[in-house]
Structure 1
């Protein structure tokens, strides 16, 4: 009886030891994931499907500021309004500057008449060389004053430098402004550019003039584009480079700030090199 109990106990101990050895080790909660799980999917955008994010940007964008200390007499356009090259965007009340211009012209006319008289007296030996030089100097001074006043009056109106739209209006009619005060933010919508940042490895197949397609998020449409410029420097950290593209054809409905996916043609696979023929 005693021997049977000892045999049974030994069998139970052996079974428990086998179960402990067969159990897999527990994985810590903060252990890193397996390499296969951490691997990026092959079809991630920009990795192997030749797609990259892009954004539309205006070619020209500028903030118009005042060059005068004057009151605004006309500021007809508001945010979103379109304008054409040469159109008047801002007009100032320049009655004071125009009066100064008139005074400068009258002074110049008087100086010119005095010079004519001095020249005639010099021909008759009735005046000295000093008086003649002083008369000529007053004419030169008057000419400079007229040019200065005319340049000031020319700044009384601000004309559009390109075709575009008003992005931001920062002043109002009848507001008194000083030189350097921002008035209007302008953007050129006549030709938009596409800004992209692509992997530097793509330089082997991207050239100026290379064509690609852009799926515009906001419109749900697709437009054709081509590369206009390649960046001059590769970012050494991210190994990327900036690329600028332009839209081919009609860009109706496109606005600066819109984004989408740019899709390029896949890289061509080089033909395999034929094996050398063994010598006979």
Structure 2
């Protein structure tokens, strides 16, 4: 009896465990079947075709802008400011009076020197007229002549010093912020206001010694500034340093850059590209199509629509990005001309996902920046 009872219990336990195991397998099968038959999500993205273009080879560099004419307007003589005849930020013309210093004492000294010069001139004329009668010696005449010339020289020196009391703009340009006030006593060399000619700028940058033969005066340069994203300023190389810096192996280069609209300012850092003579065929795609990370740059390429499928899918390919220009990037490997790449919406993608190409680029949500 004991063995029969044990056999019944074992059979019952086997039936229970077998039922539980069968139920679990059945549930897993149904879950897998559900996910297998579940419709795949369709992600809306924007796309663009990779194109073959002819690009000239460029030498990239980082440059600094300088004004062809730019100075701190200073006083040449000491004095107290009587008048300030300009406003901060205004345009100034060459020769325009900016500041007038006190010159009362100098003017009085000049009047005294003028009177002395007139007296010495009269004495000289009187003495020289007596030469015909041989009443005076030649030494007396010379003495009066030199006294007259010295008196006139003192008048000229005082005139020059008085003229320096009127401080003028040395060239056309834009004035900066006023640094002095009426009534202030200033010394020679005191900065009054900064003056910059913004119509033409110099851009200074460095290139490696291997590019010296190609980077020559007259070569076109393209300049890019953060102040105007996406805009290209065009200038040309004007001169190079005659020697290579032995510490760095680079050569200093200077270029000219028209700035008629006054957007660029001296002191700005800019990106510079020097266009060289040779050209090459390249494959380019929009910069937004490339995703950058530590493990390699990649892009999503649109695959042809499968038979019976409603939407195309994407695959992720590793790319090697090259030069960038005007929002486009050269793809050395990974994408061929004519292939279609995803340009926005990549964060929602994974390999094999279906996509729907939007007719217009996706817009970012409006995020209001809160102050700290």
**Matching residue of 1:67:** 76
* 2:241 aligned residue: 231
SS in structure 1 at match of 2:192:
strand
Greater Cα shift, 245-254 or 52-61 = 245-254
Within 5 A, what are the aligned runs for 1:1-280?
Answer: 50-167=59-176, 169-220=178-229, 221-248=231-258, 250-265=260-275, 268=278
Shift of 1:128: 4.2
CA contact (8 A) 2:73 2:191 kept: yes
TM-score, scaled to structure 2: 0.54
Deviating more after overlay: 108-117 vs 126-135: 126-135
Alpha-carbon RMSD? 2.5
Could you tell me which runs of 5 or more consecutive residues in structure 1 were left unpaired when the two chains were aligned: 1-47, 271-280
How many equivalent residue pairs?
A: 223
User: 8 Å contact 1:218–1:259 — kept in the other structure?
Assistant: no
CA shift in 2, pair 1:218/1:121, >3 Å: same
- Distance across 2 between alignment mates of 1:175 and 1:56: 34
The TM-score normalised by the length of structure 1 is: 0.71
Q: Which runs of 5+ in 2 are unaligned?
A: 1-56, 281-372
SS in 1 for 2:167: strand
SS in 2 for 1:214: strand
Is the CA contact (8 Å cut-off) linking 1:83 and 1:165 kept in structure 2? yes
Higher relative strand content: 2
Q: Distance in 2 between matches of 1:258 and 1:181?
A: 25
Aligned-partner Cα distance in 2 for 1:250–1:188? 10
| CA 181–263 in structure 1, closer or farther in 2 if over 3 Å, else same | closer
Displacement of 1:71 in angstroms is: 1.0
Worse-matched range after superposition: 212-221 or 124-133:
124-133
Does the 8 A contact of 1:54 with 1:195 survive in 2?
Answer: yes
| Equivalent pair of 2:236/2:255 in contact (CA under 8 Å) | yes
Q: CA deviation at 1:240?
A: 1.3
Deviation at 1:175, TM superposition (A): 0.9
135 and 116 in structure 1: CA distance in 2 versus 1, 3 angstrom threshold: same
CA distance in 2, matches of 1:92, 1:117: 40
Q: Judging changes above 3 Å, is the alpha-carbon distance between structure 1 residues 191 and 121 closer, same or farther for their aligned structure 2 residues? A: same
Structure ID, larger Rg: 2
Separation of aligned partners in 2, 1:240 and 1:79: 40
